[in-house]
């Protein structure tokens, strides 16, 4: 009897052999039996249907001479990625519609994303090759070898090689480094930041409290190594979370990246200044950035927004109108996409996807009810109306979520622990203040008002069914008790006479106790603000809001007091940033995250944490440093420590329990999977494998 591994190996070899035969005739009509909806060939008939190995729209371009033949667009046969059929073999053609608002780059982006390593669909937390064809470590996991797919190409037809990875890493992702590959301090005259965005922790290890960056070395055009100063056993998982697109096209970006390291012997990387790079970008992108740094973070990080940028993604932009309200943002199939189905037919099946850009939540619900959107999220407050209206045209598909609290309507409240106002900072850091805010809210009323009774009272905590679930934590500070809330606040503020229309004064001042909540979407978050205003009025706290369209930038400069946030964590061992201050990323940690991100430095505005927040950092550092046979035990112990600290402190105030991610899917859309996990770590909608969706013929 063959072992499981032997069977898998045999199947893989058979698939490769079949693929090689199929690709030999790429671009030509092949007589095969047409699969039925279940992916099985029709039996008991001699009728065969000729189908193409590529989409008809691409075959026409090949015939016209405007596109190379398919065998020249795919990787070499043995390196083509064969996607396991999700539910059934698909059919070419058609367009499906989605929707998003004008800040939707993080909504539609994951739909078409292709990462170096990707998480498996089974929810195991394991990663597998995707853009790369293989990866493996040396014995102590200090050196990782990554093998790429020979013959793979960018969407403009240019070869994708190890040069694209190393250029991206050396010149776009790393800040200024010392000879030992530790980061140059931010206050050093030789310091410069990363080109793309923030420094990525997945490329760093700590030794004796110092962070060292990995070294990338090219072995050949399709092989490179990543070498660390200390063991990095979680490297592929860390990349899949932190910097999943660890590559960009060198042949394109060399015109927009100024040299920082003094290299002068690479003729493929012209020596240009920041001013020249900025001038080139303004000319080619047609956008007037203020400076080189702003431009780099925009086109180096949000590269998928721009139609001019070559991609490895399944669908590519037609024009740069992703943030134009009222318009349709369209992405068309990538003619050089490097995946096929099990019959050797190039993916994706769809011709394009169209994203309706709508800011008005009510307008989205109206279009959903009218059946005008093929795939969309269904909000709890619209569920009954939309589901009833589309019962004959759409399906309801649920994905689970590791969210700590409701992510729809009744959002988690995050108080910045490093608020600029020192009086407010002291209050926000006081556990009694956070308890008062939590118990002053009638969660049953909130559930009825915001969620149509579809949720239940709950604290922001690990959800049931996940490692770390603790019912005591889930229920902590959820019982409505205005009297106790006032008693707690009496210890923290000036005396308050409870007169209507008046508010508490911050102790030692004549300032009203006011919490200013920064919001990005007034329509979506406005009801929550109104409810908290009413609840906190009874305990003498004034609540106001301010619209901040770019909240992330305000967080960078520690200019946020409070905001609503989504806390969704598979485990802090994989992605900790919303529950550990390791990046300048979330409101609750503020400048603590800046301190950690800058190599635990206060030189550039970071603030060193103390007490239990410092203990969070220590636990995270222990997870990162864990290696050897005891690694799993160390990781589990420190994950539990992080959870215990959150249970004790409730830095993030939740109100209602999480709900599953509910999709509304047109009946004609096939291969849409159910029972997946919706979370940032797994890249949200990318888990559906959009390239395998197709439309059933009428």
What is the CA angle 542-454-107, rounded to 5?
A: 75
Contact criterion met (CB below 8 Å) for 250 and 163: yes
What DSSP assignment string belongs to 620-671?
Answer: HHHHHH--STTHHHHHHHHHHHHHHHHHHH--EE--B----EEEEEETTEE-
Give the chain's mean pLDDT. Answer: 89
pLDDT 10s digits, 423-478: 999 999 999 999 999 999 999 999 999 988 889 999 999 998 888 999 999 999 99
**Residue ranges of domains in the chain, CATH in brackets:** 4-83 (no CATH), 114-312 (3.90.76.10), 412-653 (3.10.105.10)
Q: Lowest-pLDDT range, 34-48, 154-168, 454-468, 528-542? A: 34-48
| Residue 98 in this model has a pLDDT that exceeds 90 | yes
Q: Distance between CA atoms of 534 and 440, rounded to whole angstroms?
A: 10
Positive or negative, the CA dihedral 646, 652, 658, 664 is negative
pLDDT for residue 684:
86
Q: Distance between CA atoms of 335 and 310, rounded to whole angstroms?
A: 12
CA nearest neighbour of 125 among 634, 575, 483: 575
Comparison of pLDDT for 495 and 45, the residue scoring more:
495
pLDDT for residue 41:
38
Q: Lowest-pLDDT range, 7-11, 95-99, 473-477, 586-590? A: 7-11
pLDDT 10s digits, 311-324: 999 999 999 999 99
DSSP count for the chain of H helices, then E strands: 21, 26
| Residue 272 in this model has a pLDDT that exceeds 70 | yes
Measured torsion, CA atoms of residues 161, 162, 164, 170, in degrees rounded to the nearest 10: -170
| Residue 601 in this model has a pLDDT that exceeds 70 | yes
| Residue 246 in this model has a pLDDT that exceeds 60 | yes
pLDDT 10s digits, 377-417: 998 778 889 999 999 999 999 998 999 998 777 899 999 99
Contact criterion met (CB below 8 Å) for 347 and 337: yes
pLDDT for residue 659:
87
| Residue 1 in this model has a pLDDT that exceeds 50 | no
pLDDT 10s digits, 150-196: 999 999 999 999 999 999 999 999 999 999 999 998 888 888 889 98
What DSSP assignment string belongs to 361-372?
Answer: HHHHHHHHHTT-
Q: Which residues of 321-334 are buried (b: 16+ CB within 10 A; e: fewer)?
A: bbeeeeeebbbbbb
pLDDT for residue 646:
98
- What percent of the chain has pLDDT above 90? 70
Q: Lowest-pLDDT range, 363-377, 453-467, 503-517? A: 453-467
- What percent of the chain has pLDDT above 70? 92
| Residue 106 in this model has a pLDDT that exceeds 90 | no
What DSSP assignment string belongs to 230-261?
Answer: S--TTHHHHHHHH-S-----HHHHTTT----S
pLDDT for residue 27:
39
Using pLDDT thresholds of 50, 70 and 90, give the confidence band for residue 4.
very low
Using pLDDT thresholds of 50, 70 and 90, give the confidence band for residue 264.
low
pLDDT 10s digits, 495-507: 999 999 999 999 9
CA nearest neighbour of 358 among 98, 184, 44: 98
Average pLDDT over residues 41-59: 63
Q: Which helix (H) or strand (E) holds 519?
A: strand 514-519
Using pLDDT thresholds of 50, 70 and 90, give the confidence band for residue 16.
very low
pLDDT 10s digits, 655-676: 999 988 999 999 999 999 998 9
Q: Lowest-pLDDT range, 27-31, 94-98, 107-111, 232-236? A: 27-31
Q: 575 phi and psi, to 5 degrees?
A: -140, 105
pLDDT for residue 49:
46
pTM (two decimals): 0.79
Q: Which residues of 457-466 are buried (b: 16+ CB within 10 A; e: fewer)?
A: bbbbbbbeee
CA nearest neighbour of 596 among 423, 427, 425, 418: 418
Largest CA distance in the chain: 90
pLDDT for residue 140:
92
What residues have CB less than 8 Å from 365, skipping those under 6 apart? 379, 382, 385, 386
Contact criterion met (CB below 8 Å) for 226 and 143: yes
pLDDT 10s digits, 116-149: 999 999 888 899 999 999 999 999 999 999 999 9
| Residue 595 in this model has a pLDDT that exceeds 60 | yes
Name the DSSP letter for residue 128: E
Q: Distance between CA atoms of 651 and 630, rounded to whole angstroms?
A: 30
In the chain the first and final C-alpha atoms are separated, in Å, by 46
pLDDT for residue 50:
52
Place of tokens 């200044």: 273
Place of tokens 């508010």: 503
């Amino acid at each position: 009897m063959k072992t499981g591994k032997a069977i898998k190996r045999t199947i893989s070899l058979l698939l490769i052999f079949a693929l090689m035969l199929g690709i030999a005739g790429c671009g030509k009509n092949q007589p095969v039996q047409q699969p039925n909806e279940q992916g099985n060939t029709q039996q008991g008939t001699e009728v065969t249907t000729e189908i193409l190995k590529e989409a008809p729209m691409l075959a026409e371009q090949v015939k016209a001479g405007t596109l190379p033949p398919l065998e020249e667009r795919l990787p070499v046969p043995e390196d083509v990625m064969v996607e396991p059929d999700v539910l059934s073999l698909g059919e070419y053609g058609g367009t499906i519609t989605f929707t998003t608002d004008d800040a939707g780059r993080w909504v539609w982006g994951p739909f078409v994303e292709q990462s170096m390593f990707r998480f498996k669909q089974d929810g195991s937390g394991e990663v597998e090759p995707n853009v790369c064809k293989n990866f493996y470590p040396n014995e102590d996991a200090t050196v990782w070898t990554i093998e790429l797919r020979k013959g793979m190409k960018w969407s403009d037809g240019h070869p994708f090689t190890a040069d694209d990875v190393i250029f991206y890493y050396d010149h776009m992702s790393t800040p200024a480094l010392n000879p030992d590959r530790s980061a140059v301090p931010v206050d050093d005259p030789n310091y410069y930041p990363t080109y793309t965005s923030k420094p990525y922790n997945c490329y760093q290890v700590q030794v004796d409290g110092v962070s060292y960056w990995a070294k990338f070395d090219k072995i050949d055009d399709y092989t490179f190594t990543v070498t660390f100063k200390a063991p990095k056993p979680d490297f592929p998982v860390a990349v899949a979370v932190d910097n999943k697109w660890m590559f960009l096209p060198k042949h394109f970006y060399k015109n927009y990246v100024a040299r920082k390291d003094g290299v002068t012997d690479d003729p493929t990387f012209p020596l240009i200044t920041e001013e020249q790079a900025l001038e080139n970008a303004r000319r080619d992108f047609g956008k007037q950035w203020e400076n080189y740094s702003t431009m780099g973070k925009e086109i180096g990080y949000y590269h998928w927004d721009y139609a001019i940028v070559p991609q490895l993604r399944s669908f590519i932009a037609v024009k740069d109108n992703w943030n134009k309200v009222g318009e349709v943002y369209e992405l068309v199939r990538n003619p050089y996409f490097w995946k096929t189905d099990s019959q050797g037919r190039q993916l994706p099946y769809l011709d394009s996807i169209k994203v309706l850009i709508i800011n008005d939540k009510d307008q989205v619900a109206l279009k959903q009810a009218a059946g005008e959107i093929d795939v969309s999220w269904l909000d709890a407050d619209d569920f009954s109306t939309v589901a009833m209206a589309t019962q004959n045209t759409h399906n309801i598909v649920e994905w689970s979520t590791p969210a700590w609290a409701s992510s729809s309507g009744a959002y988690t409240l995050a108080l910045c622990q490093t608020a600029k106002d020192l009086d407010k900072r002291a209050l926000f850091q006081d556990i009694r203040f956070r308890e008062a805010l939590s118990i002053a809210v009638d969660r049953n009323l909130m559930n009825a008002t915001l969620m149509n009774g579809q949720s239940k009272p709950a604290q922001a905590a690990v959800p049931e069914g996940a490692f770390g679930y603790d019912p005591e934590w889930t229920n902590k500070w959820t019982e409505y008790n205005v009297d106790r809330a006032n008693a707690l606040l009496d210890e923290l503020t000036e005396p308050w006479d409870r007169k209507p229309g008046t508010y508490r004064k911050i102790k030692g001042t004549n300032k009203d106790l006011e919490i200013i909540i920064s919001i990005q979407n007034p329509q979506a978050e406005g009801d929550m603000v109104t409810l908290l205003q009413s609840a906190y009025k009874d305990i003498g706290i004034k609540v106001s809001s301010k619209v901040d369209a770019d909240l992330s930038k305000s967080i960078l400069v520690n200019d946020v007091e409070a905001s609503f946030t989504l806390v969704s964590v598979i485990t802090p061992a994989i992605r900790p940033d919303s529950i550990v201050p390791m990046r300048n990323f979330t409101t609750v940690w503020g400048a603590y995250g800046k301190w950690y991100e800058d190599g635990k430095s206060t030189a550039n505005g970071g603030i060193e944490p103390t007490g239990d927040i410092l203990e969070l950092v220590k636990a995270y550092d222990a997870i990162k440093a864990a290696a050897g046979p005891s690694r799993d035990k160390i990781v589990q112990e420190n994950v539990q420590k992080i959870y215990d600290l959150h249970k004790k402190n409730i830095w993030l105030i939740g109100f209602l329990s999480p709900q599953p991610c509910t999709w509304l899917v047109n009946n004609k859309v096939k291969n849409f999977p159910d029972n997946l996990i919706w979370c940032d770590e797994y890249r949200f909608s990318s888990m559906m494998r959009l390239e395998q969706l197709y439309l059933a013929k009428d």
